Structure formats: C-alpha cells, structure tokens
Amino acid sequence: MADYTRTITVAADPDAAFEALANPKNLPRYVSTMVQADVQRGDEVHVAADVHGRHEEGDAHLRTDPGNRRMEWSGAGDSDYKGWLEVIPSDAGSTITIQIHVVHDADESEINQALDQTAVNIEGLLAVD
C-alpha cells in the first residue's frame, strides 16, 4: 500500500484550471496513459488506458467538488486504486496537487513516470498564451 503525490504550479486562474481538469472529456488530454473517458451516469465514467503495451478498460467513479476545487476518483466496486486532485490559488496562479493511492504491489517507477508525465500534460493543457 502506497501513496504517490505530485504538486505543480501553473499560471492559470484556479477556477478555470479546475473546470478544465474536472471535465471528464479532458482526462485523456492530461492523464498520461488514458486514451478514453466516457461519462456513463451519475459519477460513473468508463475509462480506457494503454499501459506499457497493455490495453485496460473499466468503470470508475469521479466525484467533483467545484466549491473546493477538488475531485476524487476510484475504481468501481472494491477497487484498490483511488486518488484525488486539488487546485488551490497561489501567487503564480494555481497550485495543483495530485495524489493516488494503491493497495496492491505496484511498479513504483511506472507510477512515478505516469505522474511526472501527467504533471507535464497538465502544464500544457493549462498553459496561458
């Protein structure tokens, strides 16, 4: 069981940043391995990812709290994977923290690489021209 966290700061308005990141249609644009995210009903989202040559699909729960600029997700059922993302105002614009929690044995370097790429993708998605 382990938690992995990344924090980045971007020059973007916090409300606009959260709105972009919380939109399920944008998940494949910034989550490093995700290739598809389709809203089902309520807080259910069907996701697909390509992870080191493996194609994985499944259902997830995605809950957003715009008032606190926070979103939380978990796999369907008794998943051993969950996480959250939070956007807070900062002097530079927005500080974004992502944390994922895995219960099963996982490849730590694979998770860290995915989080690093996700952070880079967020910076690109929220880049202010």
| Residue range 20-33, pLDDT digits in tens | 999 999 999 999 99
Higher pLDDT, 71 or 106: 71
pLDDT over 60 (residue 15): yes
Let me know: does 15 contact 103? Beta carbons within 8 Å: no
Task: Tell me how far apart the alpha carbons of residues 33 and 36 are, in angstroms, rounded to a whole number.
Answer: 9
C-alpha distance from residue 49 to each of 6, 27, 83 (Å): 20, 11, 16
Helix (H, G, I), strand (E, B) or coil at 114: helix
Every domain of the chain and the residues it spans: 2-125
Fold of 2-125: Alpha-D-Glucose-1,6-Bisphosphate; Chain A, domain 4 (3.30.530)
pLDDT band at 75; cut points 50, 70, 90: confident
Q: Cα torsion at 17, 120, 92, 126 (round to 10°)?
A: -30
